[in-house]
Structure 1
Amino acid sequence: MKYVLLLFLFLFGTLGYAQQKRTTFTGKVVEKSSGQPIAYATVLVADNETKQAIDGTTTLEDGTFSLETNASNYYIEISFIGFKKKVLQAPTTERPKIDLGTIEISEDAQQLEEVVVEGEISQTVFKLDKRVFNVGKDLSTTGASALEVLNNVPSVNVNIEGQISLRGSQGVQVLINGKPSILTSDENNALGTITADMIDRVEVITNPSAKYDAEGTSGIINIVIKKEEQKGLNGSISVNTGAPNNHSIGVSLNRRTEKFNLFAQLGAGYRELPNEITVRNTDLTTGNTILSEGEEFRNEEFYNFILGTDYYFSPTSVLTLSGNFALEIEDQPSTTNFAALDGTGNETSAWERTEVTEARNPKFQYELQYKKDFEDDEDHDLLFSALGNFFGKDQSSEFLDTTISGEDRDAEQNTRTDFKESVFTFKLDYTKPFSDEFSVETGAQYILNDVSNDFEVQNLENGEFVTDPGLTNIFEFDQNVLGVYGTAAYEGEKWGLKAGMRLENTEVGTLLVNTNEANDQNYTNLFPSAHTSYKFSEKVSMQAGYSRRIYRPRLWDLNPFFNIRNNFNIRQGNPNLLPEFTDSYEVTGIFFVGKTPLNLGVYHRYTTDIIERISFFEDNVNITRPENIGTNNAWGVEFNTKYSPANWLTFNVDFNYNTFSRQGSFEDTVFDFSANRWSSKLLTKIKIPWDIDFETTGNYRSAYQTVQGEINDVVFLDLGLRKKILKGKAVLNLSVRDAFASRIRENQIVQNDFEVFNRSFRARFVSFGFSYGFGKGEAMQYSGGRRR
């Protein structure tokens, strides 16, 4: 018996000794030429004899890593695509924790072509409280804007009007580099001035933590712009042409020294955006119908200039100053043919309405940012930023109605718009790690928004233009939001938790100057958040999150005065709107089958005081106005994956389904109903010989019910083709968006006493471009901006 006991003690002691020999390696991987950290580099512990990997990990965004092993005869290998591998022999000392320090790896010129190939497919990376979509060179977005890039991001859709939705909801806040921007505001959505080549990554935050502004009920989309970090002069130039007319030239430059980083972008061009419109208004009581059909154009010259600099006081202290100026010169000719039909379908009159609109839209944006990294920990930092935005519109329109037959419809109208908006954002963020696992964040943000919209309508009466007081007014809008927040996070090897609270005070004031109608609101709200993740194994991880969000009515939700292009279909705002509040929950699983990632999530959103556009119908005139009509209860499931059955073939799949229940009423009408909607997206990339890539992106969005009618389903296909020349420094691109001209939007409103049918169609877009990168710059594509 004593021998058995001795054997047991021997085995136990041996096991304990083996366990004690486990070693944890830490370090940081950086680029040798610039000292910049390298994220997602591979760190392996491999057997000296078999050369097979024993343990491994990847570096974090700041280049750091932590790797544990109990190997005894091994070496350490660090590698990253486009860089030379670095091999470290096992340390001779045996300690439980060994710091390898800063490990420098340098570029491998022979791999540069492979870098381009590997980096062309966009990829999604999951973080504790967000998903990061690293933007590759997807061909269907060649020569395209940020809107087309967003349309390839899982969970995100951009409709034919350029409205962005996240998981089917349009209550989403779009940020640029983590801050609000004039480029993303509803009243002048100019995301097209950000081009696909300029975007480094898109962060999709469906349940934002308390660190982020609580605005946006369905979450936040943060577009992170590239900033070259290589020393010397780098840049690229591109030329694009397309049909309908879409021509542009763009230049990107970057000059970096030890202390300074100077960056600039210039762009100019011309484009046309035709839109075919059909609207049918039917009064079911009288049977009378107004039918309108026509084609609208938005022709535009655009100029864009960005200039900025980083100054490094020290390796841990940097000041950034940047500015952006853009000018759009618009010409909007349109012709609409109207017909009035009686209850039997006979035409009683016909007339033509023509429009001549000219506008100048200047945009300014400037930013001052200071970041301080403390020496005790690379994640210990302080960030202050001050951001100013200005947008203006000086627009005049002339409308002429000419009778073709029947009742006299001759008329003339003039409109004038003088619009000005200023937005100032001040933000302070502080992050303090107390250990490798535990950290806190705190900060504050103050946003001031000041808007004035002077709109006038004049009718020709007895040879003179007379102001229409019912359609003319000056609308002033002021909104100030002060927010403070605090979060705490624990992130261990397998389990992580992040929780926080945000307090926001909102002051809103609207005023119709001519009639002295005012509506002032002041409210304070708490916005809690919680996120957790657990890593069961290298193949299975889970994430869960909760956040409370707000959607504050924006300018065009509130402003009652709009362009009267079609005076039988008028869109208005409502100055008395209240904000929406949403409680959002989600659980996501991340699974690996071989090397194929499968991401499956379920989510729930409950929204109060939901805002819906309601149609009011009188004398065949349809007026739509937003109203708070009750609550929305939505459940959904989401799936996406990337699968590569061969080196030359890759599929990206995205699927989203949600069912929702609306309960509410307005005046005497009850709007209770339940419905569902779903969307799917398939991106296929094929590598062809002769250094040619071919790509297709297919989209389907189901029909779905609205509070008063139904939106049709939509299916469309985008194509892309690319040929690299001059050893990859230059690229020829061809892209076709909506290849089969099937992206048609139809909205039908059916009520007891009226029907409204609306159809809009924008033509197929074809773009061809040439781009060339010099220094260490990459070839880029520039296509200019987008506007409403």
Structure 2
Amino acid sequence: MKLLQILLTGFICILTSTSALGQQPGYVGEAQGGTIVGLVKDKASGEAIEFAAASVLRTDDSVLVGGTITDMDGKFRVSDLAPGDYILKVDFLGYMPQFMDFTISAANPFFRAGLIELEVEANLLDGVEITAERSYFQQSIDKKVYNIEKDIVASAGTASEALQNIPSITVDLDGNVSLRGNSNVRIFIDGKPSGLMGSSMVAILEQIPANTIESIEVVTNPSARYEAEGGGGIINIVLKKNKILGLNGVATVGGSTFPGYDGSLNLNYRGKKWNLFSTYSYDNRERDGFSTVYRKITYPLEDSISWYTSEGNSTQGGFNHNFRGGADYTINSKSTVGVYGFFGTGENRNEDYNSYLFLNNDSLINNANYRTGLANSESYSYNAGMNYRKTFSSVKHTLTADAFFSRGYGDGLTNFEERSYDGSGAEIAFPIFQHITTIDNQQDVNVQADYVQPFENGDQLEAGLRFTQEFRDNDLFSESFDETEGVFLNDDSISNRFRFDQKIVAAYLIWNSGFKKLGYQLGLRAEQTYMNSELVTTGEDFQNNYFRLFPSAHLSYKLSDASEIFTSYSRRINRPRMWFLNPFPDYSDPYTYRQGNPFLLPENENSFELGMNNSWEKHTLSSSVYYKYTTNEFSAYTVVDSNGYSRTSFENFASEEEYGFEFVVRNQFTKWWSATSSLNVNRTNLNGENIEQGLANALTNYNARMMMFFKITEQTSLQLTYSYWRPWVMAQGIPQPFTYLDAGIRSDFFNNKLSVNLTFSDIFDTRDFETTGEGLNFYQEFRRKRETRAAAIRLTYKFGSQDSRNKQRGNGNYDGGGGMEMF
């Protein structure tokens, strides 16, 4: 803790001193260096060009020493220039760049560039409107970016379905997300923790329409800038934000054969100072599913065996209303402030029908149970936040601050009825009637500040502070009908209330530098965690407070303009959530239950990666090898008692070792045919010898995906996506691989204002989850299938102001604004 106080104190001193220097005006007589000013306009129309880039490079080696962007009047100013000869470069997408030589000296520290007129590129002067095309996949030094608008199949569904099409990302039947086979992944929305938008990550992803997503960023080895939580990496979902001046909107409506239907409306108004945005979406779906379990139990002392089998059918449905809105205000060319908020509400229903058979040593039925469950739940969540961004003399010299607050609430009621029969079919007991009520409350707080200080030689210092709080309160009340008393009585062994409160104080420092073709980044993050959980029912209190340091290092070497090598290292942590800690039993059925472990320790992970990016005229290749070593890995551990009841708890296993390689390839075969393909192969070795002698497992996972894009006509495109997935390793189980095929076609009408998407998911109905497992006295086979084969249609209509200059420049209609930059 003392070390953390020293780090925080040092950071505050750095921040206040550098901020004070950065706030000094760049005028001659006040700034210590020279200054260049100018005005940028469109040569043809004479209109000022906002957001044009003005870069200052040294004449002798072309090193970038300063830069900024033009304000709404087209004006720019770059200050703090040392005496010397420079080149001014002014450019903007869709225009030809302009260059100007100038000199700063002690005698003449101020240079007026005057009016700089940009001309539209030659291929835009033919009277044909051209929109610059961004590829589906883009690679940078620290992350991979996938532009969802290019994915016909994904853009017709939800965020969860969009993630299914991203290379190296897998989404199981319950909506749980993993990256490279690791489920300890953090998901952000516009660079912020997504848990703030709902009661669970799965619910959040199901609530976000894919057509509101600009891009998805994948960071496999995050730097010290990001929170240390999430050994699997970070997935950032960047939502769209309109850049066109005036009032603009996008309306969508769709339906599927699940059955289901949905719609959304996006409105955006952008003026010179204000940008107002809002989104409303509605989703209503229903899905069927089934599951089967076969379990063989051995009794060595009695030299006998028994069998347990179950079959279940379910129907899940519900609807959600979601509202998102906010405003950005440009105080001046250097400062912006924004506010935003979200509100979501919904209802869900679930019907389960299950049968359970118990067979004796002679394979004869001892008894058969039939159980019906009807569940209904309601939930709402909201968040509110604000952000501030200050840019100083250089566009890279910034101070940002963010704060947001979130609340979520959900309640549900499930009614069970169960009847038991003997081998002859006669009812052997009074029916069981059970009511379970759950109330969930959550609250999250996040406050952070980040500062970036660039230097003239190209080096860069980054620093930041962050405070987060995560609070959960889960109250479960169960009662069963007592045939003797004739009333419902409390189930003392099931009813419980559990609270979870976790606070994290963090600070980080990052140094970016380089030499010629070599670039490097060194970072250190410190986090102090205060974790308290309370089993209110029994009055038990569990605490775990600890301090951790998380170093990171990233290096890159540019072999040529088309080839680059990079390597990275980071230390990460995975903290157990409330679901893993609550020691009270949670029954999925009367014979299978889960029980948390309040004494679980956090996982500690060291991650290494080495990769290479290559690009050719029509092809790109991103390849990497990686290695991860985790101690205190927590995993599920199952035992079956003498009555055949299955209990699953969570334990800290000794270690987990993972290594593998990954390829992502993009090919532009012809003007009308392109493809993005990926292959991820990794080997996982799990060691649980500390839990049970001989408990260990190893598995090689394969994850392959190929997306083919065909441009049939100027307005019509076709997409085919093939996926192969083998789920991640489990301590006591081996999952089976499966494949599936998706397809989609999109056509645009009325000058691209109307788009029609027709998609087909899991065409051959092959996407299900199967696994075999075994323990000390049991062998088990499990299969689960959720309705995944469906056809869907979606209509999208764009209306409002259109800015042809923006189209020509290739900006597209939206700017995500929520990306995460590293270098």
TM > 0.5 between the two? Answer: yes
**What corresponds to 1:115 in structure 2?**
131
Matched, 1:771 2:787: no
Q: Measure the CA separation in 1 of the matches of 2:51 and 2:359.
A: 69
**What corresponds to 1:6 in structure 2?**
none
Spell out the pairing of 1:61-460 with structure 2 (5 A cutoff): 80=93, 83=94, 85-86=95-96, 88=98, 114-115=130-131, 118-119=133-134, 121-127=135-141, 129-181=142-194, 182-183=196-197, 186=200, 189-285=203-299, 286-374=304-392, 376-403=393-420, 405-406=425-426, 408=428, 410-435=431-456, 437-460=458-481
Of stretches 510-519 and 488-497 in structure 1, the one that deviates more from structure 2 is 488-497
The structure 1 residue matched to 2:783, chosen from 741, 754, 759, is: 759
The structure 1 residue matched to 2:611, chosen from 582, 588, 596, is: 588
Shift of 1:437: 1.4
Q: Measure the CA separation in 1 of the matches of 2:173 and 2:39.
A: 45
Of stretches 690-699 and 528-537 in structure 1, the one that deviates more from structure 2 is 690-699
Spell out the pairing of 1:426-575 with structure 2 (5 A cutoff): 426-435=447-456, 437-462=458-483, 463-491=486-514, 494-561=517-584, 564-575=587-598
Shift of 1:343: 2.5
Shift of 1:697: 1.0
Spell out the pairing of 1:605-754 with structure 2 (5 A cutoff): 605-618=628-641, 619-689=643-713, 691-702=715-726, 705-754=729-778
Matching residue's letter, 1:86: M
- 1:690 and 1:330, CA in 2 relative to 1: closer, same or farther beyond 3 A? same
- 1:213 and 1:536, CA in 2 relative to 1: closer, same or farther beyond 3 A? same
Shift of 1:237: 0.3
Shift of 1:185: 6.7
Q: Measure the CA separation in 2 of the matches of 1:377 and 1:597.
A: 32
- Give secondary structure in 2 for the equivalent of 1:322: strand
Q: Measure the CA separation in 2 of the matches of 1:569 and 1:362.
A: 30
Q: Measure the CA separation in 2 of the matches of 1:100 and 1:756.
A: 78
Contact 1:316 1:372 in 2 (8 A): yes
**What corresponds to 1:601 in structure 2?**
624
Q: Measure the CA separation in 2 of the matches of 1:561 and 1:30.
A: 68
Structure 2 unaligned regions, length at least 5: 1-35, 71-75, 77-88, 106-110, 803-811, 815-823
- Give secondary structure in 1 for the equivalent of 2:704: strand
- 1:33 and 1:412, CA in 2 relative to 1: closer, same or farther beyond 3 A? farther
Matching residue's letter, 1:149: A
Q: Measure the CA separation in 2 of the matches of 1:202 and 1:175.
A: 10
Shift of 1:190: 1.1
Q: Measure the CA separation in 2 of the matches of 1:674 and 1:30.
A: 63
- Give secondary structure in 1 for the equivalent of 2:162: helix
- Give secondary structure in 1 for the equivalent of 2:165: coil
- Give secondary structure in 1 for the equivalent of 2:161: helix
- 1:590 and 1:38, CA in 2 relative to 1: closer, same or farther beyond 3 A? farther
- 1:312 and 1:95, CA in 2 relative to 1: closer, same or farther beyond 3 A? closer
Q: Measure the CA separation in 2 of the matches of 1:610 and 1:27.
A: 58
Alpha-carbon RMSD: 3.4
Q: Deviations for 1:326-347, whole angstroms, at most 9, x for unmatched residues? A: 0011111221122222223222
Q: Measure the CA separation in 2 of the matches of 1:529 and 1:576.
A: 29
- Give secondary structure in 1 for the equivalent of 2:410: strand
Shift of 1:34: 8.6
**What corresponds to 1:11 in structure 2?**
none
Q: Deviations for 1:386-437, whole angstroms, at most 9, x for unmatched residues? A: 1111111111110011346345252111101011010101111111111261
Of stretches 682-691 and 398-407 in structure 1, the one that deviates more from structure 2 is 398-407
Shift of 1:298: 2.0
Q: Deviations for 1:151-188, whole angstroms, at most 9, x for unmatched residues? A: 23233222222111111111111111222132477466
- Give secondary structure in 2 for the equivalent of 1:697: strand
- 1:551 and 1:704, CA in 2 relative to 1: closer, same or farther beyond 3 A? closer
Contact 1:349 1:407 in 2 (8 A): no
- 1:248 and 1:135, CA in 2 relative to 1: closer, same or farther beyond 3 A? closer
Q: Measure the CA separation in 1 of the matches of 2:277 and 2:244.
A: 12
Shift of 1:759: 1.0
- 1:36 and 1:152, CA in 2 relative to 1: closer, same or farther beyond 3 A? farther
- 1:112 and 1:385, CA in 2 relative to 1: closer, same or farther beyond 3 A? farther
Shift of 1:110: 8.3
Contact 2:244 2:801 in 1 (8 A): yes
Q: Measure the CA separation in 2 of the matches of 1:631 and 1:62.
A: 50
Q: Deviations for 1:654-687, whole angstroms, at most 9, x for unmatched residues? A: 0111112222334444323433212111001111
After TM superposition, the score normalised by the length of structure 1 is 0.85
Matching residue's letter, 1:273: R
Q: Measure the CA separation in 1 of the matches of 2:634 and 2:242.
A: 42
Shift of 1:62: 7.4
After TM superposition, the score normalised by the length of structure 2 is 0.82
Shift of 1:524: 0.2
Contact 1:252 1:265 in 2 (8 A): yes
Q: Measure the CA separation in 2 of the matches of 1:350 and 1:517.
A: 38
- Give secondary structure in 1 for the equivalent of 2:488: strand
- Give secondary structure in 1 for the equivalent of 2:131: helix
Q: Measure the CA separation in 2 of the matches of 1:495 and 1:134.
A: 29
- Give secondary structure in 1 for the equivalent of 2:598: coil
- 1:187 and 1:157, CA in 2 relative to 1: closer, same or farther beyond 3 A? closer
Matching residue's letter, 2:321: Y
Q: Measure the CA separation in 2 of the matches of 1:368 and 1:357.
A: 37
Q: Measure the CA separation in 2 of the matches of 1:480 and 1:704.
A: 30
Instruction: Provide the aligned length of Structure 1 versus Structure 2.
Output: 726
**What corresponds to 1:22 in structure 2?**
none
